[in-house]
Structure formats: C-alpha cells, structure tokens
Amino acid sequence: MFVIRHSFLCFFLCTFAIPVIAEQAAHLPQLFSWPKSATQERFDSISRQIFKGRSFTSSDPGVALGQHLSNSSSPDPTPRSANLALFGDYPTSSISQTLKDTILQKTVNYAGATFCAAVHAGRWDCGPFCDANPDFVLDTFGGDGDLDAHYIVGWNPRTQEIVIAHEGSNFMHVNMYINDFNFAPSLLDSAVADTLSGVAEPRSSPSAPAGPLASRLASPLTGDSDVNFALVHTGFQSTWRRTYPAIRASVLRLIELHPTVNRVFVTGHSLGAAVAVLDGIALRSAVPTTIKIEVNVLGQPRVGNPVFASLLDSLVDAHSQNFDYYHTVNHNDVVPHLGPLIMGYQHSKNEVFITQSNSTHDTKTVLCEGQENTNCALGQHQLGQVDHGGPYLGVRIGGGIC
C-alpha cells in the first residue's frame, strides 16, 4: 500500500497539468521543521531519484512555480491579466480593538484546537486553546488528518454562536501534498455558486478578468453571470466537498436546538482557512440571513481567480447578506502567496497584516485596503514557512503546540 500511494503521488506530480509543480515536490519537506517520518523519508528518496539534477531559485514550491512561469525573480509575480485596479500601494489602517479581540480570543484558539489530539478524540480538553473558550460544547468532529484535515463544529452558549474550525495542512501525511498543490482550476460547486449568485450581476462577460486559470479549462467559459466565470483551486474545493455535508447538517441541527443563535463563526489555518472560506460562502445560502456568517482565518492561501475574489468582496459588501470575512497574514508567511498570482489566483479584500515576525500582543497589525496590497503581504520578499505557525500576536499554533 505504501508503494502504491507514493507511486501514485509521483505519477500525479509528474503528469499534472503544470509539470513544474512536480519539479518542486522534492523541496516540499524542507519547509517544515518537525522530524521527518518514514513516509517523508521515503517520499524524499523517490523525489530525489525522479527529480535529480534540478535546481530552483526558491526552496518554496509555490514561489518557485511563480518565478518559473513568469521568468521573474519576484517571489509572487503578477500576471498581465490581473485586475490592477485592486493591486498596488494602498493605504492601511490599524485594526479595531474588536477585530483584534476576535482574532486573539476566537480565531487563534479555535483554529489552534483543531491540531490537538484531545479534540480529535472528541474532548474539549486541550490546554490553553480550549481553556480560552471554556463554555464551548463540541457537537461534531471529523477528518483523519490525512486525506481530510480535522474539523470541529460546536456551540458556545456564552457568545450565542455556532463555531466551525478547520485544521491546517499536516505534511506528515502525503495526501496533504495533493490537497494543497493541485492548482488546477474548477468551476464553483453548486452550494458555493448558489450564494454568490445572489450578489452577482447579470452579464455575458466577467466584471473582473477570468485570468490565466481560464486558459487551463477544456472549453471556454460562458454564461450570463459572473458566477459562470469564477474558478477555484481544485484541491481546496475537493477537500471542502468531503466535509461540508456533515458540517452543514451539524450547523442546521444546532440552529434548531439553539434558536437564540446570532452568529456562525468559521475559522481555520492554512488549508483549513481555504476550506473555511468555502464553508462560510456555502452556509450563507443554507442559514437564515438573520444569523451572521463570520469567516475569520489565518494563513489562508489564495482560493480562486479574480472573479471569485471579487464575488466574495461583493458578498461582504452586501448588507442584506450579513456576512463578514477577514484573513490574517503573519508577516513573511509564504502560504498566503499560494496559489501563485502568476497562475491566476487572487486574494479578496480585508487582509489583516501582522507587520513583524515573532509578534506579540502589541505588534502593529493593520487592515489593508485593496485585494493585493504592496504595503502588506504582497510587498514581502523574504518569504518562508517559519511565520506560518505564528506567533499570531504572540500565539503559535500547529502540530506539537497543544
């Protein structure tokens, strides 16, 4: 079974639509500081045999991919077709105390708890992450940490909110490589499209560029709405599809049990952040709009093309949708630069940027205007994995932290 799985992975990487992704596979394990498992050692051995003799200007696969495709030394080069009106030297402002409190009290701790073995076993007893929200009652938990990252759904009677949290990537498991680095584009799942259709304008061509991702499809994009031109990362959407039905069922059950609920709070880290974004969007069409949907995530990679990014912005801007979204970037974290801009991926607005590595509670943290702001994450050039696990305003999360 071991050989079959890893042979499949090498086949997948070698024959993927953009072969340069395969060329980076040998470098993936270098990004992580924990000891290598036998699985990783075997994967390294296979990778060295297949990809020997290759050299790259960056040890990070996403950055090297962008450099390769653009023939550029920039760590996150911009495609010619980008929506440049939403790129550039935009203002920043200090985040509100309310937003800071939300990140510290809820986002970091709920996302952090998803990495803990006690929570994987169904116990809300994981040390500081669980102690930060002691009233939380776990309702549903799932995922295997391999093909599907762990997730939790539960109820907090003190805040009168339902909470969903997703674990980030665990590269001790080889399937996470496939989830994270399947950059191929997909059309929106119907549950996501249903929500975004409510804020999309009727049109025969997109309001934002469909971007380079559209050229990778078997047939041209057509339709009468922006939704028809929105594309998302196949690996993220496939991961989300496997867990969303159980999460949706749990949320609807908790709404019936707790009619005073005022909010569904959705969070996650890394891959879990991308899945959380899709959760939040899909749930908006399943949950009454009297209940706020709030997506607040950490270390989120880019999820979709410029059309998708702009539709998410429209969802946030539509007062009737009662939907909030913020994505926090920890200074030089490389993960928010995946999928690469040069491939046609783009962030939505409401980036929260931590301006220094090794941050504390008092580190300057700003809200960034625009979708891709050079005064925030897009302006960083010393990218790496070190900042990915934090500290987020003084708090580290990830495997081994519990």
> Can you list the positions of beta strands (E) in 277-382?
292-298, 323-330, 351-354, 365-368, 372-373
Give CA separation, 200 vs 139, 230, 323, in Å: 34, 11, 15
Amino acid identity, residue 149? A
Question: Could you read off the pLDDT of 206-261 as tens digits, one per residue?
Answer: 888 888 888 888 889 999 999 999 999 999 999 999 999 999 999 999 999 999 99
pLDDT level of residue 359 (50, 70, 90 thresholds): very high
User: 365-368 and 351-354 as β-strands: parallel, antiparallel, unpaired?
Assistant: antiparallel
User: Would you say the C-alpha torsion 93, 94, 96, 101 has a positive or negative sign?
Assistant: positive
pLDDT higher at 72 or 282 = 282
Quick check: 26 pLDDT over 80? Answer: no
For residues 175 and 179, what is the distance between their CA atoms, to the nearest angstrom? Answer: 6
> Any residues with CB less than 8 A from the CB of 3 and at least 6 apart, and which?
none
User: Which of the given ranges, 16-20, 71-75, 88-92, 120-124, has the highest pLDDT on average?
Assistant: 120-124
Q: What is the pLDDT of residue 77?
A: 60
Q: Which phi-psi region, left, alpha or beta, contains residue 319 (left: φ > 0; alpha: ψ -120 to 50)?
A: alpha
Q: The tokens of 142 are what?
A: 């799932």
pLDDT level of residue 146 (50, 70, 90 thresholds): confident
Cβ–Cβ < 8 Å for 324, 316: yes
pLDDT level of residue 190 (50, 70, 90 thresholds): very high
What radius of gyration do the chain's Cα atoms show? 20
| Mean pLDDT across 344-369 | 97
Domain residue limits, the chain: 2-70, 84-389
Fold entry, domain 84-389: Rossmann fold (3.40.50)
pLDDT higher at 319 or 148 = 319
